[in-house]
């Protein structure tokens, strides 16, 4: 059976996304302790694929994911999942909000609840761990009156009490996950393509690349820059757009972008995520 990795332990939002993925692509789920270890397990062949977070509505891109994709692997994105994120404040039974002396969670989860934590626990220190479920596990094992920011499933798994629900600062919070593999996905007619590239540091160079998509009528869904890791002032540009590399128009666009780039990498063409409501 295919081995599919996710950022564990059980009870993370990554596990929820992985559970959704295996409904259509059955496999054995395997937890990993951090994102780099997880991605490199796919690169080495220890896993068939991995479900990793790449973007959050409130906190933006998960930089470690796109940096590894750009610089350290030849993996492709073969799918995506978008998961609503509702955070809870959880603690051992018997611990009340006034008892809490520290709060732990993944850095992204803490950032997503920044205003809530400042308003309700302004003098309580917060500590980062590798995942929301790891924070719940730490709270479970500790004899201190700690709390964790995690989801309701983590509370159930580790036998903790939900003190407060929906503590994220924005109600429309959601995280986009991508599925990474050595394989490729053929066109379905409703696809998305991701690329990363760099251009010469000269006036209009990026605009010329973007104009390629405009002239061919290709809709961009995301564009973001990251440091090139070479010297100051050099950047990589990550772009998502509608369409598949097997489509003639998309192939023409990518050939033109590649010709104009100093660095180019096709990160994958894969089916667009569609919720049951068609969002």
pLDDT at residue number 50: 96
Distance CA 59, CA 6 (A): 20
Q: Write out residues in the chain with pLDDT < 70, as ranges.
A: 233, 276-279
- Residue 96: HSE in the Cβ half-sphere, 13 Å Cα cutoff: 1
pLDDT at residue number 275: 72
- Told to judge if 213 belongs to the known catalytic residues of this protein, a careful annotator would answer no
Between helix 248-260 and helix 205-215 the angle, nearest 10°, is 170
DSSP 203-234: TTHHHHHHHHHHHTTPPEEEEEEEE-SSSTT-
- Told to judge if 238 belongs to the known catalytic residues of this protein, a careful annotator would answer no
pLDDT at residue number 276: 60
Q: Give the active site residue among 175, 197, 213, 241.
A: 175
Q: Which domains does the chain have, with CATH numbers?
A: 3-84+173-181 (3.40.190.10), 88-164 (3.40.190.10), 191-271 (3.30.70.260)
* Stated pTM of the model: 0.85
9 neighbors 137 (Cβ within 8 angstroms): yes
Q: Give the active site residue among 158, 177, 213, 238.
A: 177
């Amino acid at each position: 059976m295919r081995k599919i990795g996710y950022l564990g332990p059980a009870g993370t939002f990554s596990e929820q996304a992985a559970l959704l993925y295996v409904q259509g692509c059955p496999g054995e789920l395997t937890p990993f302790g951090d994102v780099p270890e997880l991605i490199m397990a796919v690169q080495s062949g220890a896993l068939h694929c991995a479900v990793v977070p790449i973007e959050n509505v409130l906190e933006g891109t998960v930089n470690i994911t796109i940096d590894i994709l750009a610089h350290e692997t030849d993996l492709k994105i073969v799918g995506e999942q978008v998961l609503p994120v509702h955070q809870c404040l959880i603690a051992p039974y018997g611990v009340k909000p006034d008892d809490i002396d520290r709060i732990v969670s993944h850095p992204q989860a803490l950032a997503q609840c920044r205003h809530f934590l400042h308003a309700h626990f302004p003098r309580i220190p917060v500590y980062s761990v590798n995942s929301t479920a790891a924070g719940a596990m730490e709270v479970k094992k500790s004899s201190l009156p700690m709390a964790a920011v995690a989801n309701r499933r983590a509370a159930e798994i580790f036998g903790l009490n939900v003190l407060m629900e929906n503590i994220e600062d924005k109600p429309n919070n959601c995280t986009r996950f991508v599925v990474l593999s050595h394989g490729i996905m053929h066109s379905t007619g409703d696809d998305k393509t991701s690329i990363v590239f760099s251009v010469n540091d000269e006036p209009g160079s990026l605009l010329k690349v973007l104009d390629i998509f405009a002239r061919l009528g290709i809709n961009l869904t995301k564009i973001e820059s990251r440091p090139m890791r070479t010297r100051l002032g050099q950047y990589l540009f990550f772009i998502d757009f509608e369409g598949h590399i097997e489509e003639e128009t998309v192939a023409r666009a990518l050939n033109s972008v590649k010709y104009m780039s100093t660095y180019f990498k096709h990160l994958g063409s894969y089916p667009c995520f569609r919720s049951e409501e068609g969002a």
